[in-house]
Structure 1
Amino acid sequence: MTRVDIVGAGAFGTALAITLARAGREVTLWARSGADDMQAARENSRRLPGHAFPGALRVTGDIGDLTSDLLLLAVPTQRLHEVLPHLPGGARTVISCAKGIHLASGLSPCQLIARHRPGGQTGALTGPSFAADIATGLPTALTLALPDAAIGAAVQDKLSTPTLRLYRTTDVTGAELGGALKNVIAIAAGAVIGAGLGESARAALMARGFAEMRRVAGARGARDETLLGLSGFGDLVLTCTSDKSRNYRHGLALAGAVPLDAQATVEGAATAEELAAHAELETPIADAVTTLCRGEMSVQDVTETLLNRPLKPE
């Protein structure tokens, strides 16, 4: 039987554990806290209530129990550095399920993992998905990025299920940047709708935001076709149009449409800050998101600034 270890019992890590165990994989899910309660209740009532654990899913609070040669890291990007030093050693493939850029180091999740675990095979699992959809068994497609095509094909086979379809690429940089950059645009999209600026304005923002994503990703070594796929365009569409997206809801809150959730993981805010700190490219939407998240300008002021930019060819 295929064995998979998952670090991080948030909603996404739990959802992956459920769907993989349901498809016959033997899954060990590590939780920072509450492991015994989850194991006893056979449910993650705090992060993903209403989704029962299959029999092949075991929850542990002991990180030493993670012995599979395939490890999924479903830990928020800004917390990865706290977990990586404690992972058991050994040769294994480590797949990041995090999106964003680590603000303290400026590294992507895979780069951060490689720094802590040099010489291992590191990849990313990313794309348009909500945890509840995966756990329910709704059809979902994701991008699996690994630099070694043969290892990528083997992992693709291990992680694909009847309802979770993986497409593989060797462009880890492009897959990670697509997942990181779309969160910035999602915050802006939420702010646009929250401020009552309309669907037409959101469509324009998404189009210009996607152009900005491709420009930034290309400058950092990504292949453009990767951004055109699930991990770029696909994820952008999902997170800019659904209030299930934490980043989109954060934008709504910045516009005053919904209460601000101080406990939510909003990776787009950190990514926008990182882009602002490395201003080698013109990134007007990311810059606008940074000023919004810092509270330096209102949505109305930011909108006026963007609309008053010089006219240019598309």
Structure 2
Amino acid sequence: MKTPRVAVLGAGSWGTTVAAIASRSSPTVLWARDPETAQSVGERHVNERYLPGLALPKALEATTDLHRAVESADVVVAAIPAQSLRAVLREIAPTIRPWIPVVSLSKGLERGTHKTMTEVIAEELPGHPAGALSGPNIAAEVASGMATAATLAMPDEALASQLAELFRTNRFRIYSSSDVRGVEIAGACKNVYAIAVGMADGAEAGYNTKAMVMTRAGHEMARLGVAMGGRMETFAGLAGMGDLIVTCTSSRSRNRHVGEELGRGKTVEEILGQMSQVAEGVATAPVLVELAEQLGVQVPIAREVLGVLRDGRTVRDAYRGLLRSTPGNEMDGDSW
């Protein structure tokens, strides 16, 4: 079999990291919107904007030409923010070769449609197998060689196992799954709950409070994920609890940072205006709450996060609201 050619769309920190890993075993091209980023990666083998100080493989190519990136690809990896993915897929639809798999790295839900990223891929690129790679993966740590793992989910688990070889290294372990829905919902939800935990940190609520919120957030996102067709065990795995833990605790987490700054009294507009990368949880929070309402699933933590992000509630208001509710059965109840 020939070595597959890989196109990674999106030159943020995680897209660049995955492209660097793939380029070690397969011809890989990274698409960047920004000409300076493409030039930096392609000529100087660094991405100073998103991965400062980390050397990239010389074999990794970079381009600003979207059609050139995908025209000969055997696998496409989409590292595009959730709210921009559809437009990029629509643009490549005339160029991408038929039937090749598309792997999403995006962790969000589309506003308006409430679609997961693989559902967006299915609508814009019908016939292409679509899956998701997700786990406790802080890009800078993976890029610098620290050990971690992720789950690659495809409808056909045999295909997931084959594709996993493109990204697996001695220190980046890739597990396969067929629960695409569960992996995607976990990846989207954890960003919202990381904002909640960051709010606790910013308000100096203490470690006990943070542990309580993380634990109940895991339960809350599993309830919603199962109602949407995911498998319960996925939410206890790498894409679920694993990703939730790292996103809620890492100082590198963009979503936790948003929550922390909210807890210190800043507005969401101020916080986002000072960030160079997207915090997906901000756009995902209203979609998550709307989906839960449609399905009749109680998501009080997510609802309080949305109240702070959109409705002008304070962090103290949010935590008072949560603590006023009466706890029920820990495992079977709907309360938080």
Q: Which TM bucket (shorter chain)?
A: over 0.9
Secondary structure of the 2:283 match is helix
Instruction: Measure, in 1, the Cα distance between the counterparts of 2:308 and 2:110.
Output: 20
Question: In the alignment, which residue of structure 1 is the partner of 2:278?
Answer: 265
Separation of aligned partners in 2, 1:299 and 1:257: 8
CA distance in 1, matches of 2:180, 2:206: 35
Describe the SS at the equivalent of 1:78.
coil
Whether the aligned pair in 2 keeps the contact of 1:25 and 1:56 (CA below 8 Å) is no
Q: Does 1:285 align with 2:301?
A: yes
Are the equivalent residues in 1 in contact too, given 2:74–2:101 (CA < 8 A)? yes
Q: How far is 1:50 from its partner?
A: 1.2
Partner of 2:333: none
- Equivalent residue number for residue 11 of structure 1: 13
The CA distance in 2 between the partners of 1:127 and 1:113, in whole Å, is 20
Q: Percent identity?
A: 37
Larger displacement relative to structure 2 (239-248 or 264-273): 264-273
Residue-pair matches, total: 313
Indicate the residue corresponding to 2:334 in structure 1: none
| Cα displacement string for residues 49-93 of structure 1 (whole angstroms, at most 9, x for unaligned residues) | 112221210001112222221110011111102211122221211
Q: Is the 8 A contact 1:19 1:137 kept in 2?
A: no
Give the counterpart letter for 1:56 in structure 2.
A
Alignment of 1:154-233 (within 5 A): 154-233=162-241
Tell me, what secondary structure is at the counterpart of 1:268?
A: helix
1:273-312 pair list within 5 angstroms: 273-278=286-291, 279=293, 280-312=296-328
Structure 2 residues without counterparts, runs of 5 or longer = 331-336
Matches of 1:233 and 1:311 in 2, distance apart? 22
Letter in 2 for 1:85: R
- Is 2:258 the counterpart of 1:250? yes
Given the alignment, which residue of 70, 76, 83 partners 2:75? Answer: 70
Runs of 4+ in 1 over 4 A off after TM superposition: none
Aligned with 1:51: secondary structure? strand
Offset of residue 257 of structure 1 = 6.8
Deviations 1:192-237 (A, max 9, x none): 1110110000101111111101110011010001111000010011
TM-score, normalized by length of structure 2?
0.89
Change (3 A) 1:186 1:236: same
CA-based RMSD of the aligned residues comes to 1.5
User: Once the 2 structures are TM-superposed, how far is the Cα of residue 276 of structure 1 from its aligned partner?
Assistant: 2.4
**Residue 295 of structure 1: how far off its partner (Å):** 4.6
Structure 1 residue runs of 5 or longer lacking an equivalent are none
Match of 1:89 in 2: 96
TM-score, with length taken from structure 1: 0.96
Contact 1:20 1:161 in 2 (8 A): no
Deviation track 1:252-277 (CA, whole Å, cap 9, x = no partner) reads 01111787242341211222101222
